[in-house]
Amino acid sequence: MFKQRPTHALLASTTFLFGLTAFVTAPIQSSDETGSLSGSVTFDGAAAPAGVIVSDAVVYLMGDGLPSGPAAIEVPVLNQSDLMFSPHVLTVVAGGQVEVRNNDAVMHNVNTVTLENRALNKAQLAGMTFKTKFKRPEIVQVKCDVHSQMSAYIAVVPNRFFAQPSAEGSFTIADVPAGHYQLVGWHEKYGEVSYDVDVAEGQTVTASVNFTSS
C-alpha cells in the first residue's frame, strides 16, 4: 500500500475509520475469468463536505494474481496552467511515465517529495514538456518552488486496477482477475484506508466506501 510521507501533520491527531458494504450483484459484461468492482465513495456516510473534492480520491487493488507494471494506455499528463497544477491528483502505474507540461508563459519548478522514488527538482521554462518515471508505489507530493500556491499529488499505484471517483463519488474497476485482494483508498485530507474484497468470475462486487474522521 502507499507509503505515506510524514508531511501530513493534520493526520497525526485524527483517527481514520473506514466503512464498507460489499455484496455480489447480477453478472456484468466481463470475460469468464474476470469480474469487476463498482461502488461509491462517501464521507461520514454522506456527500463530501465543503472543501473536500471526491474525485481527488484514489481507489486501487493490490494482492497476488494482479499483473504489475504499466498498462498500454496513454501517458498521464500533469499540466501547469494559470499557476496551478492540473489535475490536483494524478494516478500513474509504477514504472510508467508521467508527462509534465508547462502551459504558462512563465518558468516553473517541479519539485517532488518522495520516500520510495528518486526525487525530482527541475526548472521548467514556459512551453517546456518533459517525461519522468516513478518506479515504486507511493504518494508523491509535487510543488513549485517559484509559486508557493502550486501543489499536487501523483498517486503511484502498483498495477492498472485503480480508479478515481466521479464528482458524485462513483467508481468502477473492471476486468479484475478473480481472487481475494485488498481494496485501498486514499484521500489527501483523510489518509489511507483498506479492506479485504473477493472478486468472482463474471460478477461485480459492489463496495460502499465511507471515509470517516473523528
- Alpha helices, DSSP H only, in 42-118? none
Domains plus CATH for the chain? 17-62+163-213 (2.60.40.1120), 77-157 (2.60.40.420)
For residue 9, give the 3-state DSSP assignment. helix
Residue showing cell 498500454? 72
Give yes or no for a contact between 192 and 59, defined as CB atoms under 8 angstroms apart: no
For residue 55, give the 3-state DSSP assignment. helix
pLDDT score at 1: 58
- Residues above pLDDT 70, as percent of the chain: 83
Which residues does residue 194 pair with via DSSP β-bridges, in sequence order?
184
For residue 27, give the 3-state DSSP assignment. coil
Residue pLDDT, tens place only, 44-70: 888 899 989 999 999 999 998 898 876
Question: Is pLDDT of 33 > 50?
Answer: yes
Residue pLDDT, tens place only, 112-171: 999 999 999 999 999 999 999 999 999 999 999 999 999 999 999 999 999 999 999 999
Cis peptide leading into residue 87 (ω within 30°): yes
> What backbone torsions phi and psi does residue 10 show, to the nearest 5 degrees?
-65, -20
Q: How far apart are CA 80 and CA 180, in angstroms?
A: 39
